[in-house]
Amino acid sequence: MGIFKGSVTLSRYRLSGQPPSLEPQWLDQRVRAHAFRDIEDSSEEMAAGWVSPHDFMDTRFAQAPHLVEPYLLLGLRVDRRQVGAALLRKYHRLEMDKARAASEDGRLSRRQRELLKEKARQDLLRRLPPASRVFDVVWDTSRGQVWLGSATGWVREVFEELFTRTFQVGLALLTPWDLALAAVGSELRAALEEATPMSLEAGEV
């Protein structure tokens, strides 16, 4: 869910190094260089890039500022096409039927069947409109902390790869242990390591 409205599902990160620059002009150039590129008229299965967090169609960041120092506010737009197995089987069968009808003996080699399956998949990808999803991103450049509005594994993978490619710095996912340790401080680390779950059942302590 989104950071800017509604309920929030978060993944929290810290930078694993230092980016080449934190100057607003450099950040803006990097964001625009990796803005979302539409795949509507192609057969690509997935595309990911930055958009305005307030308008997933705004790849020029014209609707609202994305640099609000010390924060960088972005939308991670991911467009994906998925060809269902049953649909692919149907069109693969149609392609094989046409190829058998055109051959002398009506037989197809394994290699031919594989090529026809890929042809059917590519044809379907070109005809299927991609589904768009947008995930909010906030980077506190003063503290090196980053928030992603999703905890789904594949979304995190796409985000981490794009963030690293854009800003030339890696990310380290903050686990509940990391957050708990940051809250209590290193002097209470031993007590935290010995902590056990507490039951909230009535009558139990």
Least confident piece of the model among 2-11, 24-33, 79-88: 2-11
C-alpha–C-alpha distance, residues 1 and 141, integer Å? 23
Q: Where does the pLDDT of residue 182 fall: very low under 50, low under 70, confident under 90, or very high at 90 and above?
A: low
Beta carbons within 8 Å of 26's beta carbon, 6+ residues apart: 20
pLDDT, averaged across the chain = 87
Q: Which token pair is 115? A: 């090529």
Q: What is the pLDDT of residue 43?
A: 82
Q: Which token pair is 94? A: 């149609």
Mean pLDDT of 33-47: 91
> What pTM was estimated for this model as a whole?
0.75
Does pLDDT of 57 surpass 90?
yes
Q: What is the pLDDT of residue 76?
A: 97
For residue 41, the SS3 value is: coil
Chain CA centroid to CA 47, Å: 9
C-alpha–C-alpha distance, residues 113 and 117, integer Å? 6
Mean pLDDT of 160-172: 98
C-alpha–C-alpha distance, residues 66 and 76, integer Å? 12
Mean pLDDT of 46-69: 91
Mean pLDDT of 163-186: 81
For residue 77, the SS3 value is: strand
Does pLDDT of 203 surpass 60?
no
